[in-house]
């Protein structure tokens, strides 16, 4: 199976490197500046599971001239439009696109552009970031991908995907309810992102303050209510685990959105919080804590965009 990894960032770069290490046929589609960096330094992973440095096979957008069997898509949501234009020449009649983006808005955009047959559902659970030297640093030891057909069927092609992703140095799972899995991850991301960004701290710091745990549980309740109203209720086991995680007093947990915020980088506020809020408003749900977090981060995002525009 020929696999195209779109980007060599924190998510795609990590799982793509593990796949290449395991002997899979992997090509990374990257921008020119990232390509030069990777040719010079290689693709480097710093991980609790063992560090890795390899020389990846690279492609630039205008160099794509054939379809791939599988396209793994792990870019940030604000880069999706340009990414779709870049990898479009690699999409053939039987190409499968497996997205590991946050939220659900990307599914509509991918289906609109490439057709429902081309798009699979996917969830990636990994804590990684790019450091100042362009290396991918894994911040915790969990590393899981889940994938499946949107209708839940076990097809010959999804079995091929499963065979390609199994045994590659991370946990891989084929799901017959991938849309529910994606919504459940959305609840987790929106809750943690809203908590960190609104309260300006990690989970342990927030729970050390009187009333902090109530805010954490309140945000979890609001996000779970939206998912439930949209017919994707989180499981009770998931909610129980999240309640324990979000009220831990010794936890340093933060979301990738909050880490981006603290670095002054763009944040996925519209797709992780804004789109979630819109689903709730359409169902006339009251979610004041989620609304406050969205407004908070939206102010940051707009001020960042204005400052960047003024400096150009």
Q: Could you give the residue numbers annotated as active site?
A: 185
Which residues have a Cβ under 8 Å from the Cβ of 238 and sit 6 or more positions away? 184, 187, 188
| 45: three-class secondary structure by DSSP | strand
Task: Identify the DSSP state of 298.
Answer: H
What is the torsional sign of CA 283, 288, 293, 294? Answer: positive
- For tokens 């390609």, the residue is 164
> How would DSSP label each residue in 163-215?
HHHTTSSSEEEE-S-HHHHHHHHHHHHHHHHHHHHHHTS-HHHHHTSTTHHHH
Q: In what order do the strands lie in the sheet with 96-99?
A: 58-59, 25-29, 2-6, 70-73, 96-99
Strands, E, within the chain: which ranges?
2-6, 25-29, 43-46, 52-54, 58-59, 70-73, 96-99, 121-130, 136-148, 171-174
Runs of H (alpha helix) within 61-177 = 80-87, 105-114, 156-165
Which has the closest alpha carbon to 88: 150, 143, 17, 29?
Answer: 29
As a whole number of angstroms, the distance between CA 255 and CA 192 comes to 6
As a whole number of angstroms, the distance between CA 6 and CA 4 comes to 6
Which has the closest alpha carbon to 229: 163, 283, 180, 190?
Answer: 283
């Amino acid at each position: 199976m020929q696999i195209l990894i779109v980007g060599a960032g924190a998510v795609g770069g990590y799982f793509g490197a593990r796949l290449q290490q395991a002997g899979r046929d992997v090509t990374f589609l990257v921008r020119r500046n990232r390509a030069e960096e990777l040719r010079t330094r290689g693709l480097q992973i710093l991980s609790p599971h063992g560090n890795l440095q390899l020389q990846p096979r690279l492609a630039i957008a205008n160099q794509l001239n054939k379809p791939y069997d599988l396209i793994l898509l792990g870019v940030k949501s604000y880069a999706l439009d340009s990414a779709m234009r870049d990898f479009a020449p690699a999409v053939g009649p039987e190409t499968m696109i497996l997205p590991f983006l946050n939220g659900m808005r990307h599914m509509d955009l991918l289906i609109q552009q490439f057709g429902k047959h081309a798009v699979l559902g996917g969830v990636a659970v990994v804590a990684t970031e790019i450091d100042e030297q362009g290396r991918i640093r894994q911040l915790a030891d969990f590393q899981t991908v889940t994938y499946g057909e949107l209708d839940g069927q076990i097809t010959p092609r999804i079995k091929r995907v499963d065979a390609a992703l199994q045994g590659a140095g991370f946990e891989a799972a084929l799901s017959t309810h991938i849309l529910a899995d994606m919504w459940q991850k959305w609840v987790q991301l929106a809750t943690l992102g809203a908590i960190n960004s609104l309260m300006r701290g990690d989970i342990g710091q927030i729970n050390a303050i009187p009333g902090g745990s109530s805010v954490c549980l309140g945000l979890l309740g609001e996000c779970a209510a939206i998912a439930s109203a949209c017919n994707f209720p989180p499981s009770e086991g998931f909610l129980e685990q999240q309640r324990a995680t979000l009220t831990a007093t010794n936890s340093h947990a933060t979301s990738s959105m909050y880490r981006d915020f603290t670095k002054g980088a763009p944040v996925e506020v519209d797709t992780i919080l804004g789109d979630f809020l819109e689903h709730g408003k359409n169902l006339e749900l009251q979610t004041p804590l989620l609304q406050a977090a969205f407004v908070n981060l939206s102010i940051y995002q707009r001020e960042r965009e204005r400052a960047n525009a003024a400096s150009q």
